[in-house]
Amino acid sequence: MFVKKSNRLISKITDLIGNTPIIKIDDKLHGLKGVELYAKLEYLNPFGSLKDRTAKGMLDGSIEEIKAGEKRVIETSSGNTAKALQCICNINGIEFTTVTNRIRVSESKNILKFIGVDVFEVPKGVDTVAKIEEMCAKEPAKYYHTTQYTNPKNVATHKKTGQEILDDIGSVDYFFHVLGTSGSGKGITETLKADNPHLKKIGVVTSAESYIPGIRSMLELNDCGFFSKEDYDAIEGISAEEAKIYMKRMCRGMGILAGVSSGASFAAAVRVLKKREKDAQSQGKVDQLKPIKAVFVVCDRLETYANFIKENRFHKYHALGNTYIIIDAGENPTLPDKDFIVKICHKEFGAGADGLIYGPFIIESKGDDFSPGELTYEYRAFNKDGSEVKSALFATMIFAKYLKDKEAVKENSIRVKIANQTLNVDFLDREATNLKVTMITEPVVTGIKQFGGKEYINVYLGNENLVREEETPTKESIIERGEEVHASGEFPDGVNIQLVKVISKKHIQVETYDRGVGYALASGTSVMASCFAVRNKISSQLSVHTPGGICTVNLKEYSITAEVFKILEGEFEI
């Protein structure tokens, strides 16, 4: 009896890598005139991403050698490359380790561990490639390093990806690709450019204020072994918010379950090609625009980023018990209203906090794409009663820690602005837990005030502070003084009150009643105001004891050093 062999029968899952389809994006989703926009659907590879090709290409021809030597494959990857390498290693009975400090999406780590990846996480400041080279040098017989950042097989395997595009749709005029290791983009563009010397190659990076998994920022491009500025006609910076909007268009408009980086490529394509169209309109040459073909790559799938694409996330941090909820302006473009702030800061009905931080907003001085100007990271802060904060030293530390945690900043020192106050923040350790905030403007003593027969020193630091020295400051006494001062109505915009005990020249104790908050375990502004008010009795460097913990103050530079910790992350309801 004759049995017909099924053309759907495969011998191993890696047989499905490559030969992915390409789809024309519906004109309604991009609104471009005279443009055929295509998406190469690399997310349909068996392990879910473009990196399936990279992993297979780097291991092809070496599997038997690795097995014979009982070696462990090792690479630096926070997601797709690690996933693909592990799957191929699983099939072949090989162990795999990824050395990384870039896993920011919890689903990615969970998936990697579930499929068997040995995830070796190192601190953020560590060069992961150098770490692997150190490990390989120490135990050369143990590891096989696939070197995705420099391995020519990374580029070579994607020349075939480029050829598939040409075979399916012919010559391409514009190609858009996100820049990670930059190997896949280099391989594809070399093939497309050989066919069409006039090809426009656009690299896509994450913008300065955003973090997008799998994409580098402009400042990180030089860390990519295959990246060369000359390979691209332009580099487009896309925010996380833009990327989410365009991935949503693909998902809801065409059923393409694309990941965030694919949304960034789509957004860049629309932006660049829309500018081409507008330039022609301004010159009265719209009718002369030639029809073009443009392609971007759908690198991976939506599901891996389920946590990242939450649109209503919040983060809660504290510095010495001074708690703030952070809502990212990039993810939530609408400023929270007073009712929302009061509700989310409520300790029974919300997440509970002293206040809310909303930002960042980026202010950039002049520079070029590869030598950007100095950035200032601005934010707005609100007390838990919804009133706006004009000065907040601990909130500034918390805001800076959040930027570091989301990898929006790489520097060890940044400039931060709140209201009319500009401050410098230094990250003093690799984990950005120990921070120093320095005031640029010196505090000012504006006089003496009397309430209830008691004298207070009036200190201005962008907001009003009343400081009184007492022998035994307590929670009960500061609440009593705070309510008394606020009841007077002399400060319609509110005032912070501090009771201070000078323990010695190097130690003081502070109790705080904050405007818009009430009793607080600590307040950075209150700490500095207290020290400045009693500066004639203390050293220029001292420890300040608060109910929330101890911080260090330097009165010569008007700085506070303290530790900042993330408490939780959640999702709020609109």
What is the secondary structure of 181-225 as a DSSP string?
S-HHHHHHHHHHHHH-TT-EEEEEEE-TT---TT--BGGGGGG-T
Indicate the DSSP class of residue 441: S
Average pLDDT, the chain: 91
- The whole-number pLDDT of residue 557 equals 94
- Predicted confidence at residue 209, as pLDDT, reads 67
Residue 371 is predicted with a pLDDT of: 47
DSSP state of 538: S
Asked whether the beta carbons of 453 and 428 are under 8 A apart, the reply is no
Residue 538 has pLDDT above 90, yes or no: yes
Instruction: For the chain, give the number of residues.
Output: 574
Q: Are 262 and 299 in contact (CB under 8 A)?
A: yes
Q: How many CB atoms lie within 10 A of CB 170?
A: 10
For domain 313-425, which architecture applies? Roll (3.10)
Quickly tell me which residue has 């130690």 as its tokens: 507
User: Which of 467, 422, 427, 428 is closest to 442 using CA atoms?
Assistant: 422
How many whole angstroms separate alpha carbon 393 and alpha carbon 376?
16
- The whole-angstrom distance between residue 545's C-alpha and the CA centroid of its chain comes to 33
Predicted confidence band of residue 366 (pLDDT cuts 50, 70, 90): low
CATH superfamily, with its number, for domain 444-557: Diaminopimelate Epimerase; Chain A, domain 1 (3.10.310.10)
Amino acid code (one letter) for 173: D
Count of C-beta atoms within a 10 Å radius of residue 426 = 16
Predicted pLDDT at 370: 44
Q: CA 205, CA 177: separation in Å to the nearest integer?
A: 9
Sheet holding 35-41, edge to edge: 22-24, 35-41, 292-298, 174-178, 200-206, 234-238
| Dist CA 318 CA 522 (whole Å) | 10
Only one residue has tokens 């003093």, namely 428
pLDDT of residue 207: 82
The torsion region of residue 264 among left (phi > 0), alpha (psi -120 to 50) and beta comes to alpha
Evaluate whether 64 touches 198 at the Cβ level (below 8 Å): no
pLDDT tier at 455 (50, 70, 90 boundaries)? Answer: very high
Residue 196, pLDDT above cutoff 90 = yes
Mean pLDDT of 442-446: 92
Q: 268 vs 486, which has greater pLDDT?
A: 268
Least confident range of 15-29, 206-220, 231-245, 357-371 = 357-371
pLDDT score of 40: 98
- Same fold yes or no, 51-145 and 444-557: no
Q: Which of 209, 262, 271, 260 is nearest to 235 (CA)?
A: 271
Return the minimum-mean-pLDDT range out of 53-57, 257-261, 366-370, 560-564: 366-370
pLDDT tens digits for 306-342? Answer: 777 777 889 999 999 999 999 998 778 889 999 999 9
Q: What share of residues in the chain are helix, strand, coil (percent, to 5)?
A: 35, 30, 35
pLDDT of residue 574: 55
Where does the pLDDT of residue 20 fall: very low under 50, low under 70, confident under 90, or very high at 90 and above?
A: very high
Among 16-25, 360-369, 505-514, whose mean pLDDT is lowest? Answer: 360-369
- Three-class SS of 339-407: HHHHHHHCCCCCCCCCEEEEEEEEEECCCECCECCCEEEEEEEEECCCCEECCCHHHHHHHHHHHHHCC
Question: Buried b vs exposed e over 427-446: b needs ≥16 C-beta within 10 Å?
Answer: beeeebebbbbbbeeebeee
Q: How far apart are CA 511 and CA 472, in angstroms?
A: 10
- Domain spans, the chain: 21-44+159-305, 51-145, 313-425, 444-557
Question: Which residues, including other chains, have CB under 8 Å from residue 289's CB and lie 6 or more apart?
Answer: 33, 34, 276, 277, 280
DSSP string, 217-255: BGGGGGG-TT--GGG-SEEEEE-HHHHHHHHHHHHHHH-
Question: From residue 460, how far is each of 328, 345, 444, 497, 557 by CA, in Å?
Answer: 29, 26, 5, 12, 17
Confidence of residue 66 (pLDDT cuts 50, 70, 90): very high
User: For domain 51-145, is the CATH number 1.20.1090.10?
Assistant: no
Fold adopted by 21-44+159-305: Rossmann fold (3.40.50)
DSSP at 21? -
CA within 13 Å, CB half, 326:
26
Provide the CA 303 distance to its chain's centre, in angstroms.
19
Predicted model pTM = 0.69
For residue 360, cis peptide bond before it (omega within 30 degrees of 0): yes
What confidence tens digit (pLDDT) does each residue in 142-174 have? 999 999 989 999 999 999 999 999 999 999 999
State whether the Cα torsion 434-377-206-302 is positive or negative.
positive
